[in-house]
Structure 1
Amino acid sequence: MAAGGKWSDLTRRVTSAVILIGIGVMLALSTGLMLWAGVALFMALTFWELARMTGWKGPARFETPLGRSRPIVLAVAAGLSLFAALGLPSVSALILLIPIIAGLPGAVPRDRLTYAVFGYAIMAVGFELVHLRQEYGLPFILWLMGVVIISDILGYFAGRMIGGPKFWPSLSPKKTWSGTVAGWVGALIFGLILWLSGLAGAALIFLSPVVAFAGQMGDMAESWLKRRAGVKDSSNLIPGHGGFMDRFDAVSGAVLAIMMLSWVMGLPQVGF
């Protein structure tokens, strides 16, 4: 396979799917404080990547010999804030804001709003993931992960095989309308299969492509952030495959969509 061929990033896609499945397994095996700690750690690492991409400087007293490790301060604040918020639901919104407020003055001026929006989104995703796992159970999480993975895989292959007009070339030159629509169709079929199997209500047929689209928008949002920061990957925490934000952007978009939908409608039950 030629390094520059249209299938050159297939390995990266497979790795992403494996990582997402691994996250699902982590959520499946974790409960209570272990679940909280695992999600808080994951979101802290993602917050570290965000802080680096938005040029957070921090007070001089937080300087380290490595220099570039200063965003660790915000990462620790993010993890601790999220963990505390999970145990104190009445004040969770205020606790989630701690790392955003603490880091805002040190961010590059042009990226302060970007830092605040993405920072709160990261924290909200972590909080909502735990809520969904605890309130709706493992099957719901597996459905959510399944929609994202199926949409990504079908979108990848359809885009490479069919090609055609680009979906949003200024942000993602490789994504095509054919791949995008294939992702929606794959998610719809996934929801249809669950309904026909008696594992979920008919609402999942229509909700699945909506969640798939939200996942695609999460991917686009992170692509925009990386272009703004002038980087190819959010970090090198996953050698050869970028950072946690790179692997988790679509899931983040899907989770945020579910969170907002839950404000206006009841979420369907999924049972395996």
Structure 2
Amino acid sequence: MTEQHGRAEKKNPRLWPFGPDLLPRLLSAIVLIPLTAIALTAGWLLFALLIALVMAGAYREWEEMITGRHSAWPSVFIMGLVAMIAIAHPMNGAWASAVVFGITVVIAAFIKAPNRHWRISGVIFFGFATIAFLAIRGSSGVGIWAGIFLVSIVWMTDIGAYFVGRIVGGTKLSPDVSPSKTWSGAAGGLCAGTLSGIVVWFVAGWALDTPSPFAIGLLISVVVSISGQLGDLAESAVKRRFAVKDSGDIIPGHGGLMDRIDSLTVAGIVLWCVGLANRGLGAVPQGILFW
């Protein structure tokens, strides 16, 4: 009887390969997608406030992970500074964010702690990601499309990797870092993310009446999709380094804020660099979509 029960358990994953986290993931998406859409459309201070909240919360999870304890000092203080990096941008421009960013890095460097280099790394990473998100959105309607371009690629990469990886399975992508990820999932995510990016690329070109070459949209979509997956693997490596399964439990089906934005932050920084290289600091959204 026990042997038959064990065999049944082994067969169940084949009948339902997605596990119990699928429903929480769907419910989370129902909340997160409209919230992101509203913030992108509204722009300016509302978008900056959302980024401030998310990045400050993600840094708090980072601080707890690298220290292994819940503490008000210095995490709450640095959280406030990370939030100010975002809020300063619409109020006084990119230079103000850069100044707050620099001050935050200096303060983090002077606060004594066993893992001070990890704290500094976290501040630098989340600071750059904050500036990248705000620069991608910018203050014009082009930024809405640039933001949609980014999130569509990253989210569809995540969705494609999840479903293809669970259904097809196969060889593990990096068993020492993230045992659940497979090469089939990575390929499925790349295809889904790239296809989504190309669709948005063409729709944005039509809506803005500035069509850009297909080859460039394809290349950027591929690069952003791959960078998002690398960001996911990088966070998994850090969590394994500190023996943490999830960065938090604030988002059902995903864990913490870091678990939700790991791909988005790395992909956002990469896309920001693309726009920066093409059109400069003052026209990042145009640098992403106009070629």
Is residue 170 from structure 1 mapped to residue 176 from structure 2 by the alignment? yes
Which position in structure 2 is the counterpart of 1:119? 123
Which position in structure 2 is the counterpart of 1:42? 54
Which position in structure 1 is the counterpart of 2:101? 96
Number of residue pairs aligned between Structure 1 and Structure 2:
259
CA distance in 2, matches of 1:51, 1:130: 23
Q: In 2, are the aligned partners of 1:167 and 1:177 still within 8 Å (CA)?
A: yes
Amino acid at match of 1:168: S
Which position in structure 2 is the counterpart of 1:10? 22
Q: Percent identity?
A: 28
Residue 68 of structure 1 is aligned with which of 49, 71, 80? 71
Most deviating of 17-26 and 182-191: 17-26
CA distance in 2, matches of 1:95, 1:157: 41
Amino acid at match of 1:233: D
Is residue 227 from structure 1 mapped to residue 240 from structure 2 by the alignment? yes
Distance 1:83 1:191, change over 3 A: closer
* Aligned Cα root-mean-square deviation (Å): 2.8
CA distance in 1, matches of 2:224, 2:155: 11
Amino acid at match of 2:244: V
Structure 2 residue runs without a partner (length 5+): 1-8, 280-286
Which position in structure 2 is the counterpart of 1:249? 262
Distance 1:259 1:56, change over 3 A: farther
Q: Deviations over 1:202-258 (max 9, x none)?
A: 121221121011111111111112112221111233356421111111111110111
Distance 1:174 1:15, change over 3 A: farther
Amino acid at match of 1:126: T
Amino acid at match of 2:94: P
Deviation at 1:105, TM superposition (A): 4.7
The residue matched to 2:224 in structure 1 has which SS? helix
Structure 1 residue runs without a partner (length 5+): 58-66
Q: Deviations over 1:72-99 (max 9, x none)?
A: 2221122124323552433533421333
CA distance in 2, matches of 1:183, 1:268: 22
Residue 24 of structure 1 is aligned with which of 36, 41, 49? 36
CA distance in 2, matches of 1:194, 1:88: 28
Q: In 1, are the aligned partners of 2:274 and 2:288 still within 8 Å (CA)?
A: no
Distance 1:55 1:105, change over 3 A: farther
Distance 1:194 1:34, change over 3 A: closer
Q: In 1, are the aligned partners of 2:271 and 2:288 still within 8 Å (CA)?
A: no
CA distance in 1, matches of 2:202, 2:38: 28
Task: Answer with 1 or 2: which has the greater Rg.
Answer: 2
Distance 1:139 1:147, change over 3 A: same
CA distance in 1, matches of 2:85, 2:202: 42
CA distance in 1, matches of 2:255, 2:224: 24
CA distance in 2, matches of 1:85, 1:56: 32
